[in-house]
């Protein structure tokens, strides 16, 4: 080893130093040795930086372990959607504020009023991420503690990928900015819907005996909407599978007035009834343009109305 080091030293002090001296026009061989040392240090630093870039966690192709996803979401401050017991609507939006090995603490950002209770299973959705070599956007966990501001979950027991809806639902928090008139009827260009009394109505300002002020719009999207209707206001013809015509009024904050839109659809689901209200799920299948004679011209080429596009 000593012989090898001595040979290297003689090479650096000899031919290599002479080559650098003549190449850069140096007068003192010591300057060549300093230049060589700086070059070697720069090469070593570049190799160290390259090794760090290749070995850092973010460069791993499999994206790390799925067990690390909650801590990653917590560090990003990502908002998660927690589904209701039926796995259909978002019950709570929350942020993971503490991600331990056995518990997850989540602060509630927004709640629809149906917060999961202790002992219930919950499914949480987040932006797709790669972990364990596959893509995931959800995990399931058991609620161990629940109150109005915070949830504590057990460690996730499964991860998966849930296909989100084609159309994102927008929950209607304030009923004063939306009104609905609904007829259980197929679309007909010769029927004066504009002048007819609706079979079901939603209007928080209604002061008559129609009962429209008790009904609400749960959510609305490009593909449909969900209503909560008092049972005594439901006509007997309102059942799953029947066509409907709707006149939807959305408040325009710029123009400070309600803008009416016409759309047709179909009742896809009817649930509940035990609490005095029934949830009606409606899918849009067309939009309409009102005429001066009170009738509506229908455009069957649109699968959803332009009102919420």
Domains of the chain, first to last: 2-55 (no CATH), 66-160 (2.30.110.10), 170-308 (2.40.10.220)
Q: What is the pLDDT of residue 8?
A: 47
Number of CB atoms found within 10 A of residue 251's CB: 14
pLDDT on residue 13: 54
Mean pLDDT of 254-283: 86
Q: What pLDDT, in 10s, does the model give residues 277-290?
A: 999 999 888 888 88
- Whether residue 94 contacts residue 149, with contact meaning beta carbons closer than 8 Å, is answered with no
Rounded Cα distance between 200 and 232, Å, is 11
- 32 vs 74, residue with greater confidence: 74
The reported pLDDT for the residue numbered 154 is 93
Tell me how far CA of residue 178 lies from CA of 146, 181, 283, in angstroms: 32, 11, 18
Please state the rounded mean pLDDT for residues 106-110.
88
pLDDT digits (tens, 9 = 90+) for 180-227: 999 999 887 788 888 889 999 888 777 676 777 888 898 888 788 899
Residue 93 pLDDT greater than 50, yes or no: yes
Query: Counting Cβ atoms within 10 Å, is residue 28 exposed (0-12), middle (13-18) or buried (19+)?
Result: exposed
Q: Is pLDDT larger for residue 143 or for residue 35? A: 143
Each residue's pLDDT tens digit, 42-66 = 777 878 887 777 666 544 445 578 7
Q: Are 111 and 82 in contact (CB under 8 A)?
A: no
Q: Please check whether residue 59 is in contact with residue 51, taking contact to mean a CB–CB distance below 8 angstroms.
A: no
Report the number of secondary-structure helices (H) and strands (E) in the chain: 4, 16
Distance of alpha carbon 61 from alpha carbon 77, whole angstroms: 23
Is residue 305 over pLDDT 70? no
- Residue 106 pLDDT > 90: yes
In which residue are the tokens 């027991």 written?
157
- d(CA 44, CA 33) in angstroms, rounded, equals 17
Quote the CA–CA distance of 62 and 67 in Å, as a whole number.
Answer: 13
Q: How far apart are CA 72 and CA 66, in angstroms?
A: 10
DSSP string of 35-54? HHHHHHHHHHHHHHHHHHHH
Mean pLDDT to the nearest integer, 168-182: 80
The number of beta carbons lying within 10 Å of the beta carbon of residue 91 is 21
pLDDT in tens, 116-128: 888 888 899 988 8
**Average pLDDT of the residues in 58-82:** 76
pTM above 0.85, yes or no: no
Task: Report the alpha-carbon distance of residue 106 to residue 89 in Å, rounded.
Answer: 19
DSSP 155-206: PP-EEE--PPPSS--EE---GGGEEEEEESS---TTS-GGGSPPSEEE-TT-
């Amino acid at each position: 080893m000593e012989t090898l080091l001595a040979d290297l030293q003689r090479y650096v002090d000899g031919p290599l130093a002479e080559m650098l001296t003549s190449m850069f026009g140096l007068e003192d061989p010591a300057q060549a040795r300093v230049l060589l040392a700086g070059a070697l240090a720069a090469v070593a630093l570049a190799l160290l930086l390259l090794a760090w870039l290749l070995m850092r966690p973010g460069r791993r192709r499999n994206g790390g372990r799925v067990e690390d996803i909650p801590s990653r979401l917590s560090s990003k401050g990502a908002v998660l959607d927690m589904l209701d017991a039926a796995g259909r609507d978002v019950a709570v939006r929350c942020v993971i504020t503490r991600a331990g090995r056995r518990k997850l603490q989540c602060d509630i950002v927004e709640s629809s009023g149906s917060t999961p209770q202790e002992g219930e299973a919950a499914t949480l959705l987040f932006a797709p991420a790669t972990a364990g070599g596959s893509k995931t956007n959800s995990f399931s966990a058991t609620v161990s503690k629940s109150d109005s501001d915070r949830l504590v979950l057990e460690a996730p027991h499964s991860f998966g990928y849930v296909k989100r809806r084609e159309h994102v639902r927008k929950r209607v928090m304030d009923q004063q900015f939306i009104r609905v008139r609904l007829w259980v009827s197929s679309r007909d260009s010769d029927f004066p819907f504009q002048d007819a009394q609706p079979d079901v109505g939603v209007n928080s300002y209604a002061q008559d005996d129609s009962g429209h002020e008790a009904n609400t719009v749960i959510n609305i999207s490009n593909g449909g909407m969900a209503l909560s209707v008092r049972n005594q206001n439901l006509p007997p013809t309102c059942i799953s599978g029947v066509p409907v015509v709707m006149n939807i009024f959305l408040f325009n904050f710029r123009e400070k007035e309600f803008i009416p839109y016409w759309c047709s659809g179909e009742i896809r689901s009817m649930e509940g009834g035990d609490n005095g209200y029934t949830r009606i799920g409606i899918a849009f299948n067309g939009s309409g343009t009102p005429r001066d004679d009170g009738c509506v011209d229908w455009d069957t080429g649109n699968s959803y109305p332009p009102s919420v596009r």
